[in-house]
Structure 1
Amino acid sequence: MNELTIPELVARAANEFPDAEAVVDGDVRITYAELREQVREATGAFAGAGVEPGDRIAIWAPNGLRWIVTVLGALGAGATLVPLNTRYKGDEARWPLSRSGAKILFVEDGFLGIDYPAMLGVDGSGVPGLPALRTVVTFNGPARPGVISWDDFTAAAVSPDEADARAAAVRPETVADILFTSGTTGRPKGAVVTHEQNVLTYRAWTGRTGVRAGDRYLIVNPMFHTFGYKAGVLACVMRGATMVLQRTFDVPETLRLIEQEKITVLPGPPTVYTALLHAPGRDEHDLSSLRLAVTGAGDVPVALVRRIKDELFPQVVTAYGLTESSGTVTACSVDDDDETIATTSGRPIPDVEVAIVDGEGGPVPAGTDGRILVRGYNVMKGYLDDPEATAEAVRDGWLDTGDRGRLDERGNLTITGRTKEMFVVGGFNVYPAEVENALARHDAVAESGVVGVPDARMGEVGRAYVRLRPGRTATQEELVAHCRERLANFKVPREVVFVDDLPKTASGKIWRVKLKERL
């Protein structure tokens, strides 16, 4: 397997597994040979639309066949993918669209009852505040002012030979995607990753986890996230596995798909497996096809791993990664024991280094807690148009992950904390500063501090400590509703605690560590 670009992976899969099912999306089933033809048409459509190599295209839509075809087609045209979280509100989506200068945006009409173009104020004259965005394409709706249909988009495709020439021109060093990840400032930054980085990283990931040809992989992780896009779509194309798509996680539907489609691989956050284990009527479904679970979290209870293995999956592995590392740093293997899988995130993937350092940057002994640094081909090229943030994050080739952990004598990594104070809600990263910025826009809020608190179902949820302005009043329900209008649901705090004062650091910043101590 010598391919180093994603178009080469698509061609290889079509040549090696032409008649194997590539995608199952509801009632639609296509083979790898058919997928290549649809991707070729999409590549031609991008060329016909005037998209040049290096241009950015954005997609704001749920898991679906057209998501896959659009993304692989764009990559074949030499364009760069900018995926958007489907839970984003208009202002949240506007930032990555503006920052990346995306030329075309793809949406699905009506997903979750949302009119995505309307949230951006799209009309016949364009998209307010986004001068680079010249076209909005709907996957499933009719053309309307400011929006064209999928059929209109593909109608202008260049010839298949011209599309093939575009795909052949993509180089390993061509930028494949820019995934935006929030930080302590609350403003998302775009992590720039190339074709070669993605191919090498997920060749290593599939080799370690054991995803293989013939697997039937249920992609329930959202494809706007590295877990769904890279460890899902790219991993399946690389190995010739079948992608069975689920738009959102719904336990009865997941159980139905496992039984009907003979699912063998189902990655997800621990909350997915907890929900399946406790699902009413689980015993009424034939789940015997399940083979492999892949999950990631700071610490998965040993009892949960054993129960997953006893009741659902013969093989369970854990892994660790972040957007800035192409999504993967370490992974266990199926041969590791239950305790290793449950209490560590495994060893670095081949040719990637992990170092644990103290506050001064010096190495610490095995078993000692410290900052996690990563060096290797998986480390992003940098943050989009942000050399200062890049220089702060990557020094001498070492990526400072912002996480804390320790390595054992065998090189297994255990995550012990997050320097950046991020918390994870149902598998999605939440950065306190972003929620605090939303709260600050409420007239009654003087200041706030947001932390993650344990939750049995979601792993963690947000709790906001809020100090009100003198003479102003607000209720928990009011502030939660205020956030819900401005933030994706997973970022909205589940609880608001009103306080007279908030702990501060010497520099006057909210001291979230002290807030955590109140739990």
Structure 2
Amino acid sequence: TESLPKGAMLTHGSVIDQYVSCIIEGEMAEGDTVLHALPLYHCAQLDVFLGPSVYLGSTSIITAKPTPENLLPLIARHRINQFFLPPTVWIGLLRSPLFEQHDLSSLRKGYYGASIMPVAVMRELTERIPQRRLWNFYGQTEIAPLATVLKPDDQLRKPGSAGKPAINVETRVVDDQMNDVAVGEIGEIVHRSPQLLLGYFHDVERTAAAFEGGWFHSGDLGVLDDEGYLSVVDRKKDMIKTGGENVASREVEEALYRLAGISEVAVIGLPHPRWIEAVTAVVVIKPGVELTEAQVIAHCASQLAHFKTPKGVVFVDALPKNPSGKLLKRELRLRFERHYGG
């Protein structure tokens, strides 16, 4: 999701270690029939699901179109029991009129990752596919990519959490001096693992910065609770600094997803003459629903502190995503950078 790509050098050994983490933590088995719907150049689909499936000898169904019109019939026809999608695509399935027309009773293991699953959507998934157990896999390319796992029994007990470190991973949340932060305090998520990259291709400076202090710096901000469960607060680059306060876009997005008429939302900071950055909601409305900017702002004001409430709302037909389903907030920031003038 960055504008300039960087090459993460992973060994075969680190990828195989990561397969083992996925298989153990995700309860994958030889008898699974797995649907692979995202591009195989994306490490989540390739190394968290297809690679472990080949390693185990399970059955793989590969398709190139992650759309409801394609996926729902495939699940029913092939009796798929294991399936991974990013939250944006799970949302698309739930909103499709085809959802209720197909037999999804074979689907027993569901996985999400690549971005945060809104708590309201996770609860809806549990209600509408009750036999399906759900895992959250969190990580990034540099760790091959699995880092932490929220398992099925914790989905409703720890909604929104990224879980605990996978079997081959150590994870901490630290301040800028590499000290562990207190329970409930925000810090940077760092990892140590045999799954990690050797470094960035032809970029010694970036490699040294990433491994400063002997741990890999993820670039994500997180919080640990009193049971050691990790919650990802935001990407460092997505933290909004408005009027001298820090606002995590994810917290605002969670509040917005509790408004019934919203299908998808992205919260970004946009340049503002008074606030420097203004919290701004980019909203996709469910079909047949009417919402105004005033209604959206009033909803947020009833649930959030004043400085976290969006200063503006932009309505769009769709949010920009990469082929793997990740939201491209940088595109929204560029598209609407003059929303408040300037």
Is TM > 0.5 for Structure 1 vs Structure 2?
Answer: yes
Q: Is 1:460 paired with 2:277?
A: no
Q: Structure 1: which 5+ runs fail to align?
A: 1-180, 424-450, 468-486, 502-519
Q: Which structure exhibits the higher relative contact order, with contacts defined as CA atoms closer than 8 Å and separated by 6 or more residues?
A: 2
Aligned to 1:378: 195
Aligned to 1:116: none
Distance 1:345 1:360 in 2: 24
Distance 2:70 2:85 in 1: 15
SS of residue in 1 equivalent to 2:44: helix
Please show how residues 154-233 of structure 1 align to structure 2 within 5 Å.
182=2, 186-233=3-50
Q: 1:410 to 1:238 in 2, by over 3 A?
A: farther
Please show how residues 96-495 of structure 1 align to structure 2 within 5 Å.
182=2, 186-296=3-113, 299-312=116-129, 313-340=131-158, 342-421=159-238, 457=263, 459-460=265-266, 491=328, 492-493=331-332, 495=335
Contact 1:463 1:496 in 2 (8 A): no
Partner deviation per Cα, 1:260-289 (whole Å, 9 max, x = no partner) = 011111111112222222221322211110
Distance 1:211 1:413 in 2: 23
Distance 1:245 1:221 in 2: 9
Contact 1:298 1:416 in 2 (8 A): no
Q: How far did residue 379 of structure 1 move? A: 1.6
Contact 2:181 2:187 in 1 (8 A): yes
Aligned to 1:496: 336
SS of residue in 2 equivalent to 1:230: helix
Distance 2:93 2:117 in 1: 16
The share of aligned pairs that are identical, in percent, is: 30
Contact 1:210 1:334 in 2 (8 A): no
Aligned to 1:38: none
Q: 1:488 to 1:262 in 2, by over 3 A?
A: closer
Contact 1:294 1:316 in 2 (8 A): yes
Q: 1:244 to 1:461 in 2, by over 3 A?
A: farther
Contact 1:271 1:459 in 2 (8 A): no
SS of residue in 2 equivalent to 1:339: coil
SS of residue in 1 equivalent to 2:222: strand
Q: How far did residue 223 of structure 1 move? A: 1.1
Contact 1:298 1:415 in 2 (8 A): no
Contact 1:321 1:328 in 2 (8 A): yes
Q: 1:351 to 1:266 in 2, by over 3 A?
A: closer
Q: How far did residue 297 of structure 1 move? A: 6.0
Q: How far did residue 497 of structure 1 move? A: 4.5
Q: How far did residue 493 of structure 1 move? A: 3.6
Higher CA-based Rg: 1
Distance 1:286 1:278 in 2: 16
Contact 2:186 2:221 in 1 (8 A): yes
Partner deviation per Cα, 1:90-120 (whole Å, 9 max, x = no partner) = xxxxxxxxxxxxxxxxxxxxxxxxxxxxxxx
Please show how residues 17-36 of structure 1 align to structure 2 within 5 Å.
none
Distance 1:275 1:357 in 2: 36
SS of residue in 1 equivalent to 2:220: strand
Contact 1:209 1:334 in 2 (8 A): no
* Counterpart code for 1:253: N
Distance 2:7 2:89 in 1: 28
Distance 1:297 1:366 in 2: 25
Distance 1:488 1:265 in 2: 23
Q: Structure 1 residue runs of 4+, over 4 Å off?
A: 451-459, 461-467, 487-492
Q: TM-score, normalised by structure 1?
A: 0.48
Distance 2:151 2:233 in 1: 21
Q: 1:422 to 1:408 in 2, by over 3 A?
A: closer
Q: Structure 2: which 5+ runs fail to align?
A: 241-248, 257-261, 274-320
Distance 1:413 1:211 in 2: 23
Distance 2:166 2:125 in 1: 24
Give the total of aligned pairs.
271
Q: 1:465 to 1:397 in 2, by over 3 A?
A: same
More off after superposition, 454-463 vs 264-273? 454-463
SS of residue in 1 equivalent to 2:84: coil
Q: How far did residue 405 of structure 1 move? A: 0.4
SS of residue in 2 equivalent to 1:263: coil
SS of residue in 1 equivalent to 2:336: strand
Contact 2:68 2:93 in 1 (8 A): yes
SS of residue in 2 equivalent to 1:364: coil
Contact 1:191 1:383 in 2 (8 A): yes
Contact 2:21 2:146 in 1 (8 A): no
Contact 2:43 2:141 in 1 (8 A): yes
Q: TM-score, normalised by structure 2?
A: 0.71
Cα-Cα RMSD: 3.0
Distance 1:353 1:231 in 2: 18
Distance 1:395 1:418 in 2: 18
